Amino acid sequence: MIRLKSEEEIALLRENALMVSKTLAEVGRHIEPGITTRELDAIAEQYIRSLGAVPGFLGFEGFPATLCMSVNDVVVHGFPSGYKLKEGDIVSVDCGTIYRGYFGDSAYTFPVGKVDARTQQLLDATKHSLELGIAQAVAGNRTGDIGEAIQSYCENLGFSVVRELVGHGLGTDMHESPEVPNYGRRGHGVKLREGMVICIEPMINAGRKEVYLDENGWAVHTADGKNSAHFEKTVVVRHGQPEVLTTFEFIEKNC
């Protein structure tokens, strides 16, 4: 069942979105060679609590941390650890909050120092494909319009789209209906209606699309060991133009 949100609910989701946006920037400010993903997780947890919210992922279906920290070949759902980031890595930071009963959810993939040209292209393409997907999030369109926009852009550049993980609705639950795949066909899928709040989150691989689940039951890796990038925003479906609740402004002002 898809739950359309009232303007009061959207206001609460907007507050959460601002919090996750600021938290990602706070984490990004500290990303440099030598810092561990666990140290970054602690920074995020403290920051979220200082805003009066609680981490949205911590304890969610047993997830052990505030952030999903997914380095290089890890697509999503990596655990923060003692791993020290090094020059040339990329790290997807996925952040959730809960504030007044509603969720925030956004992700950004950061380069650590300077990355090689093809990796930078992967980051740029994934982020741009998110914007192309968002542009389709208008009432009357379908989820397939979002997926097709992301898929065709990324595949034209020689990248591939992960099939096993998709975007989702957001509200009082972190994963609500509908599913929002990053692949699809124009005019297919669930019809978008004013007041739907969705997370669009392309997960794009440098190499092949196949992935496997880590033995820890959480982290998803690329099967070929090549890099994967992930960007996510929370969006309200509106007539004419979508309303984007999260922003990368704070990150890109900082870095």
Sites of contact with Mg ion (CB under 5 A)? 94, 105, 107, 199, 232
Helix, strand, coil percent content, the chain, rounded in steps of 5: 30, 25, 40
Q: Which is nearer to Mg ion, 58 or 157 (CB)?
A: 58
Q: Which is nearer to Mg ion, 44 or 107 (CB)?
A: 107
The distance of closest approach from Cβ of residue 158 to Mg ion in the complex, given in angstroms and rounded to an integer, is 26
Q: Which is nearer to Mg ion, 199 or 219 (CB)?
A: 199
Contacts of 8 (CB under 8 A, 6+ apart): none
The distance of closest approach from Cβ of residue 102 to Mg ion in the complex, given in angstroms and rounded to an integer, is 14
Place of tokens 């309200």: 236
The distance of closest approach from Cβ of residue 230 to Mg ion in the complex, given in angstroms and rounded to an integer, is 8
Q: Which is nearer to Mg ion, 111 or 202 (CB)?
A: 202
Give CA separation, 129 vs 88, 108, 141, 183, 204, in Å.
22, 13, 17, 11, 9
The distance of closest approach from Cβ of residue 103 to Mg ion in the complex, given in angstroms and rounded to an integer, is 9
Do the beta carbons of residue 107 and residue 25 sit within 8 Å? no
Contacts of 120 (CB under 8 A, 6+ apart): 111
Number of residues in the chain: 255
